[in-house]
Amino acid sequence: MVRTHSMRGFSLIELLLVLLIISALAGLFIAVMGRTPEKTKIKTTTTLVETVVPQALERFYADMDRYPTEEEGLAALVKAPAFEDENEAKKYGGPYLKKVPVDGWGQELHYEPVEPGSGTDTSIRYKVWSDGPNKQSGDDDDIRSWSEEESST
């Protein structure tokens, strides 16, 4: 009795086609995943600048009836600054943050109190910003707690 086995399997072209599809999908996955960390850094920094730090500044204000000075900076939200007045020192209810905030690129955030009547919108009491991905202040990629429209009115 002679048996004939038909050869089953994939042709070379079928194997190459499958490898091509897998390579294309892997390349697409790597490209998408390569951008995700940058988006995550931007989103995390935006949350810090627009929500977390302003909430801490408002809690500081509620206790102290003022915002930190430029010299005290955001460090005043972590550790009590050196108060000249003992009564003021008693009002400090911090720390308001666990550590001085840094953006997604490891840079400390900038803080600038805004004096009332200094030509800006009266709703802006302070400015908090990150230099953004390029780590250079004053560029379009900066992440700010205020809009340019608010700043110019």
- pLDDT of 5 strictly over 70: no
Residue 102 in any domain: the answer is yes
Q: What is the pLDDT of residues 99-117, one digit of tens each?
A: 999 999 999 999 999 887 6
Residue 47, domain member (yes or no)? yes
**Count of domains in the chain?**
1
In a domain, 20, yes or no: no
Residue 76 counted as domain residue: yes
Which of 61-75, 78-92, 94-108, 117-131 is predicted least confidently? 117-131
Nearest CA among 54, 50, 32 for reference residue 42:
50
- The lowest-confidence range among 40-49, 74-83, 118-127 is 118-127
State how far the alpha carbon of 22 is from the alpha carbons of 10, 26, 34, 97, in Å.
16, 6, 18, 47
Residue 24 lies in a domain: no
> What percent of the chain clears pLDDT 70, i.e. is strictly above it?
84
Burial class (CB in 10 A: 0-12, 13-18, 19+), 44: middle
Query: Which CATH number is 101's domain given?
Result: 3.30.700.10
Any domain includes 48: yes
Among 40, 78, 38, 37, residue whose Cα is nearest residue 57: 78
Q: Is residue 66 situated within a structural domain?
A: yes
For position 153, what pLDDT does the model report?
A: 41
User: In terms of residue numbers, what domain contains 61?
Assistant: 40-152
Higher per-residue pLDDT: 20 or 56: 56
Q: Is residue 144 part of a domain?
A: yes
